A and B are shown apart, each in its own frame.
Chain A
């Protein structure tokens, strides 16, 4: 299994190198054009998944009592609305095939998502219950996302969503 994963990661890394090298020049073939488009979609999907993971982690932090301050919860709600609007703006720019606004929208979305994660994770040192510890770990993992290069970030964002969904079910069933 470990060899298989290593092989997959190697394939991902090699593919990423090939795609990244195209960013500096004009695509010379139909397949190169297609690869560039894939990069666009990956960036959009990644920022969308990053938002969803951040929003889920913030919700878990509230549900488990990691965040209890009414003022902080209200601010989380405001930042969540701002981050969601930014993610929708990225999607709109993608559909309009507007490269300039797409890049700017992604940068803005990432910045607001970072604010949301930082605010929700502000009280993680006070985590005492198992549920609070999980919420704190999820928020910490969300905070690490921006430091990952593509396509690892893409994969990690998906994983965070999957783990968050698992934790949500555990909390709903009273297991955390």
Chain B
């Protein structure tokens, strides 16, 4: 369970502070791996496809929300 005050403290400093959280260390580890491995090309391609899929979901959600507000 997160505390709102903690989140608000973290957001203005997105970067090192957020990166200190264990869950974000995993992200850093994964990204460092993309710079150091010769087999990372497919990983990046997969990550791009995942990112595109996430963008489509976010787009659909926001458009649905706009329609609900009469837009």
A115 located at the interface, meaning its Cβ lies under 8 Å from any Cβ of chain B in the complex:
no
B29-A176 in contact (CB<8A): no
Query: Which B residues are in CB contact (< 8 Å) with A42?
Result: 44
For chain B, give the interface size range: 35 or more
A138 located at the interface, meaning its Cβ lies under 8 Å from any Cβ of chain B in the complex:
yes
Query: Which A residues are in CB contact (< 8 Å) with B18?
Result: 159, 163
Query: Which B residues are in CB contact (< 8 Å) with A56?
Result: 58, 61-62
Cα distance, A152 to B18, chains bound together (Å): 12
Considering only residues 1-18 of chain B, those with a C-beta below 8 Å from chain A are 2, 4, 7-8, 10-12, 14-16, 18
A74-B48 contact given A5-B19, A38-B41, A155-B27, CB 8 Å threshold: no
Cα distance, A130 to B4, chains bound together (Å): 8
Cα distance, A87 to B28, chains bound together (Å): 24
Cα distance, A2 to B7, chains bound together (Å): 19
Query: Which B residues are in CB contact (< 8 Å) with A38?
Result: 34-35, 40-41, 44
A73-B48 contact given A134-B4, A140-B12, A156-B15, CB 8 Å threshold: no
Distance of A17 from chain B, by nearest CB (Å): 11
A12-B48 contact given A77-B66, A77-B71, A141-B12, CB 8 Å threshold: no
Interface centre among B16, B24, B55 (most CB of A within 10 A): B55
Give residues in B with beta carbon < 8 Å to A. 2, 4, 7-8, 10-12, 14-16, 18-20, 23-25, 27-29, 31-32, 34-36, 38, 40-41, 44-45, 47-48, 51-52, 54-56, 58-59, 61-63, 65-67, 69-71
Counting from the closest, the 6 A-B pairs by CB-CB distance are A77-B66, A15-B35, A74-B71, A55-B58, A48-B51, A137-B11
A-B contact pairs, 24 of them (CB 8 A): A1-B20, A5-B20, A12-B35, A38-B41, A52-B58, A56-B61, A74-B71, A77-B62, A77-B63, A77-B71, A84-B55, A84-B56, A87-B55, A91-B48, A134-B7, A134-B8, A148-B15, A155-B19, A155-B27, A159-B19, A161-B54, A162-B24, A163-B10, A163-B14
